[in-house]
């Protein structure tokens, strides 16, 4: 890192310790951007539609609750403050990191196998077409020198094709992630979303050319759902055929949807329709959502929610919060999941969640 980057990292880590509301993010192919709210508190919302007409940096959970509200940072500065500089330099160790509570129930292979059996049963009985089963892993004992900001800078170098962010608010605590999945991006009359699903490792660093039926089917469920949601709004999107894309050391199948929007002040309504797509939830949606919340055995918190800049008057870039971690004092909570179909095998699904968690672990060298 350059001396400038090192000093920026000290400042950003100090902002976390001071419990400020800010976000640092990098859209693929662009330079990092920063936004912070210095006066007043970030806005807490309890309904996705309330995002209509709002602008700011959003962090929304998988399931909105009192404990996990939608948080909207309304930035009044986009420059990393230098006023913290001296203070940051005199700090010898991080203070308590504010955050959400650590989910405590099961994160091991045995628990995953138990949950897998709960999920596969209704899939085999055709009560669901698809369900996404996720898990978390608690990593304790981070060295005092662990720097969220330095991890962000490492991530932007390593993951060129992912959206990388570091965000802190008093309500959400600190989150960092590297996600490949857009939920909604665009400006003026040109909007974009994607159907992303199906996973394989890169083969000798290259995108795989062969995709089996299970992966194709998994991705088609997401595409089907997005098509249906857009059609219900009278939108006829242009849709590309699925093709493989990179996400770190993994590859997924993705199809792109491009469409105009009659009213950019209704982005909350559209997000409410899209979230959660079958890339993180399942089909049929409402039943799958309920099933996951009742049977997954833990609260996903902000994992598999969405995150990013909402700007109805400018450009919005919102992503599904995947390949992420919640950074707590001395503890990290990592998250990953995968789509389960009736044909899924527990061992390969487990290995897929392990591979997805590696996206964060590689940054920690653990
Ligand atoms: C749910 C996750 O990934 C989704 C996105 C791409 C591929 C997926 C899959 O193959 O299962 C998942 O739907 C995750 O990373 O935790």
**Residue 182 CB partners (closer than 8 Å, separation 6+):** 163, 192, 193, 194, 317, 318, 319, 320
pLDDT of the residue at 93:
45
Q: Which atom of ligand 1 is nearest to the CA of 247?
A: 6
Contact 132, 338 (CB under 8 A): yes
Look at ligand 1, atom 7, and give the residue with the nearest C-alpha.
197
Distance of CA 18 to the CA centre of its chain: 24
Could you check whether the bond before residue 321 is cis, i.e. omega within 30 degrees of 0?
A: no
Q: Which atom of ligand 1 is nearest to the CA of 222?
A: 13
DSSP state of 266: G
Query: Could you tell which of 356, 357, 359, 360 is best to mutate to test the pocket of ligand 1, judged by most ligand atoms within 8 Å of the CB?
Result: 356
What ipTM does this complex have? 0.99
Q: Rounded to an integer, what distance in angstroms lies between the CA atom of residue 343 and that of residue 363?
A: 33
Look at ligand 1, atom 8, and give the residue with the nearest C-alpha.
197
* 3-state helix, strand and coil shares in percent for the chain, rounded to the nearest 5: 30, 30, 40
Domain 3-364: give its CATH superfamily: Anthranilate synthase (3.60.120.10)
CB distance 36 to ligand 1 below 6 Å: no
Domain layout of the chain by residue ranges = 3-364
CB distance 20 to ligand 1 below 6 Å: no
Residue 92 pLDDT greater than 60, yes or no: no
CB distance 339 to ligand 1 below 6 Å: yes
Q: How far is the CA of 95 from the centre of ligand 1 (A)?
A: 34
Write the pLDDT tens digit of every residue in 34-62.
999 999 999 999 999 999 999 999 999 99
CB distance 337 to ligand 1 below 6 Å: yes
CA 118, 124, 126, 129 dihedral sign is positive
Query: Could you tell which of 112, 162, 197, 221 is best to mutate to test the pocket of ligand 1, judged by most ligand atoms within 8 Å of the CB?
Result: 197
- The pTM assigned to this predicted structure is 0.95
Residue 87 pLDDT greater than 90, yes or no: no
Residue 99 pLDDT greater than 60, yes or no: no
CB distance 52 to ligand 1 below 6 Å: no
CB distance 281 to ligand 1 below 6 Å: no
Token code pair at residue 124? 């085999």
Write the pLDDT tens digit of every residue in 111-121.
999 999 999 99
Terminal Cα distance for the chain, rounded: 21
Q: How far is the CA of 20 from the centre of ligand 1 (A)?
A: 31
């Amino acid at each position: 890192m350059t001396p400038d980057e090192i000093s920026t990292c000290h400042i950003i880590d100090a902002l976390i310790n001071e419990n400020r509301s800010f976000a640092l993010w990098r859209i693929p192919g662009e330079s990092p951007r920063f936004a912070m709210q210095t006066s007043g508190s970030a806005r807490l919302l309890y309904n996705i539609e309330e995002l209509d007409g709002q602008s700011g940096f959003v962090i929304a959970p998988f399931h909105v609750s009192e404990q996990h509200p939608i948080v909207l940072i309304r930035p009044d500065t986009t420059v990393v403050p230098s006023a913290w500089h001296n203070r940051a330099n005199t700090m010898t160790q991080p203070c308590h990191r504010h955050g959400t509570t650590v989910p405590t129930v099961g994160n091991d292979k045995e628990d995953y196998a138990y949950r897998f059996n709960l999920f596969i049963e209704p899939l085999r009985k055709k009560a669901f077409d698809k369900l996404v089963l996720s898990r978390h892993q608690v990593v304790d004992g981070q060295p005092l020198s662990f720097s969220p900001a330095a991890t962000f800078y490492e991530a932007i170098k390593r993951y060129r094709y992912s959206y990388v962010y570091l965000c802190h608010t008093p309500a959400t605590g600190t989150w960092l992630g590297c996600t490949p999945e857009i939920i909604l991006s665009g400006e003026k009359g040109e909007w974009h979303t994607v159907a992303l699903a199906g996973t394989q490792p890169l083969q000798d660093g290259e995108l795989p050319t062969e995709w089996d039926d299970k992966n194709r089917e998994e991705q088609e469920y997401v595409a089907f759902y997005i098509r249906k949601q857009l059609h219900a709004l009278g939108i006829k999107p242009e849709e590309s055929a699925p093709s493989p894309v990179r996400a770190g050391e993994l590859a997924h199948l993705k199809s792109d949807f491009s469409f105009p929007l009659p009213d950019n002040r209704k982005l909350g309504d559209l997000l409410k329709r899209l979230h959660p797509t079958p890339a993180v939830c399942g089909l049929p949606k409402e039943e799958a959502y309920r099933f996951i919340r009742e049977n997954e055995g833990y609260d996903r918190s902000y994992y598999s929610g969405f995150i990013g800049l909402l700007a109805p008057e400018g450009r919005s870039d919102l992503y599904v919060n995947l390949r992420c971690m919640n950074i707590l004092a001395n503890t990290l909570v990592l998250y990953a999941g995968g789509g389960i179909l009736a044909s899924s095998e527990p061992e390969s699904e487990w290995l897929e969640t392990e591979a997805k968690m590696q996206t964060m672990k590689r940054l920690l060298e653990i």
